[in-house]
Amino acid sequence: MSTLLETKNVNKKFGGLAAVTELNLRVDEGEIIGLIGPNGAGKTTSFNLITGVYTPTSGSITFAGHDITGMKPHGITRLGVARTFQNIRLFKEMSVLENVLVAQHMRMGTNILEATLRLPSYMKRERHIHERARTLLAEVGLSEHENAKATSLPYGKQRRLEIARALATEPKLLFLDEPAAGMNPQESVELMEFILKIRDQFKLTIVLIEHHMQVVMGVCKRLYVLDYGVTIAHGTPEEIQNNPKVIEAYLGVE
């Protein structure tokens, strides 16, 4: 099993505040890795550093053999990294189908002349992305909603649509930022099954931030724990559950 993503001594400071300190992650192909920790621990900041939203103050990030340190988000996406967000960011005025279609255009390879003249090559690619978008909606159970406005969907289905849109970019590595947020226990169980399904079906590697411990312990092979931007523990779910530093970070000490 080869390493797909590695961060080495990654730091991020905002003014005098150290948001992330010496982040060292290793993610192997096919793994589902959890990034956990209390609120404000630096988890989403870590996602933002890896996906190009922020540039590290120091350190390096390597993905699939490419140095992506400081690369722009669209360049990282082209290499095969996709993400969802803690706060759902769908295109609100677009339909469910259009949300998935727009994510595929970066892979079309169409030039302006082809699109303007609607040449046969362009129309063929357009048909292909429509077919693929509908296939992705079927995979996440949203086929019957393709013409609905994205924001009209229930919360759990909006989460699935955001994942479908990420899958449309053809990622190798998928970051999920609190996918179980706002879900009830039954929805959380279904989410675990869904994450395992898409990992196998799309040959993905997945890193997720999650506070719902049932989900984390149910799908993750390894966990990294952050606290105040510092990695305080790394190991299997069982090891993390019994780690004194982790217990202290979550529960405090007397």
pLDDT given for residue 122 in this prediction:
64
Beta strands in 52-189 (DSSP E): 58-63, 66-67, 81-83, 173-177
Say if 86 falls within a structural domain: no
Q: Look at the pTM and tell me if it is higher than 0.75.
A: yes
Q: For residue 143, what are its two tokens?
A: 């086929």
Same domain, 50 and 111: no
Same domain, 151 and 179: no
CATH code for position 179: 3.40.50.300
Say if 165 falls within a structural domain: no
What total of structural domains would you count in the chain? 2
Rounded mean pLDDT of 29-55?
95
Say if 88 falls within a structural domain: no
Containing domain of residue 13, as a range?
3-80+171-251
pLDDT digits (tens, 9 = 90+) for 193-205: 999 999 999 999 9
Say if 51 falls within a structural domain: yes
Rounded mean pLDDT of 130-134?
92
Rounded mean pLDDT of 205-214?
92
Same domain, 97 and 149: yes
Same domain, 76 and 175: yes
Share of the chain above pLDDT 70, in %: 92
Say if 164 falls within a structural domain: no
Same domain, 44 and 23: yes
Say if 85 falls within a structural domain: no
pLDDT band at 234; cut points 50, 70, 90: very high
Average pLDDT score, the chain: 90
Say if 233 falls within a structural domain: yes
pLDDT at 227 over 80: yes
Using an 8 Å Cβ cutoff, are 137 and 143 in contact? yes
pLDDT digits (tens, 9 = 90+) for 150-191: 999 998 899 999 999 999 999 999 999 999 888 888 888 888
Same domain, 113 and 70: no
pLDDT given for residue 126 in this prediction:
76
Contacts of 179 (CB under 8 A, 6+ apart): 84, 159, 163, 191, 195, 208, 210, 215
Distance of CA 191 to the CA centre of its chain: 14
pLDDT given for residue 33 in this prediction:
97
Of 122, 155, 188, which residue constitutes the final position of a domain? 155
